[in-house]
Amino acid sequence: MRASLLAPLLALAAPAVAAPLTMHVGETWIFAIRNGQPSAVRKVTTATNPAKGQVRASVSALGGTTMVLTNATGLAYKFRAELIGSDGKAATARSCTLPAGNRQAFESWQQRAVAVRIGAFKRTDDPGKC
């Protein structure tokens, strides 16, 4: 009995596992990058600007699927992007470098997706390779 009462408390105390962020078309999110994954994730409006140390990402269905990212972390990143189809299957998508300096990255794919999953962020010295 005591063990069953303790389990929920231990689950709350356990650190959250960093995972990629899945954003549906029409959504905008702000997050920090910790251990290569989005953390402190929260859904916001498109008018919300990222604070220092944050990234804002918006996904839309413009011309297939598009994603606009604004990076206020001060570091450039490479990252992994996957397009999630209406069947729930993920397909790796080409992504450009997310430049530092509060600049934007614009990703555009011809495929229609219901969501985009991003993660596996790695620092890079390349400021704008695509």
Please indicate, yes or no, if residue 7 is contained in any of the structural domains: no
Please indicate, yes or no, if residue 129 is contained in any of the structural domains: no
- Indicate the number of domains in the chain: 1
pLDDT confidence band for 101 (50 / 70 / 90): confident
> Are the C-beta atoms of 91 and 83 separated by less than 8 Å?
yes
Tokens of 8: 């929920």
Please indicate, yes or no, if residue 96 is contained in any of the structural domains: yes
Percent of residues, the chain, with pLDDT higher than 70: 84
> Are the C-beta atoms of 79 and 98 separated by less than 8 Å?
yes
pLDDT confidence band for 1 (50 / 70 / 90): very low
> pLDDT for 6-48, tens place per residue?
445 444 444 455 799 999 999 999 999 999 999 999 999 999 9
b (16+ CB within 10 A) / e for 48-68:
eebeeebbbbbbbeeeebbbb
Please indicate, yes or no, if residue 76 is contained in any of the structural domains: yes
Please indicate, yes or no, if residue 6 is contained in any of the structural domains: no
Angstrom distance (rounded) from CA 87 to CA 78: 27
Closest Cα to residue 53, out of 71, 80, 27, 79? 71
Please indicate, yes or no, if residue 9 is contained in any of the structural domains: no
Please indicate, yes or no, if residue 84 is contained in any of the structural domains: yes
pTM above 0.75, yes or no: yes
Residue 38 phi/psi, 5-degree rounding, is -60, 135
Q: Which domain holds residue 61?
A: 17-123
> Are the C-beta atoms of 6 and 90 separated by less than 8 Å?
no
Please indicate, yes or no, if residue 5 is contained in any of the structural domains: no
What's the whole-number mean pLDDT along residues 47-68? 95
What's the whole-number mean pLDDT along residues 48-62? 96
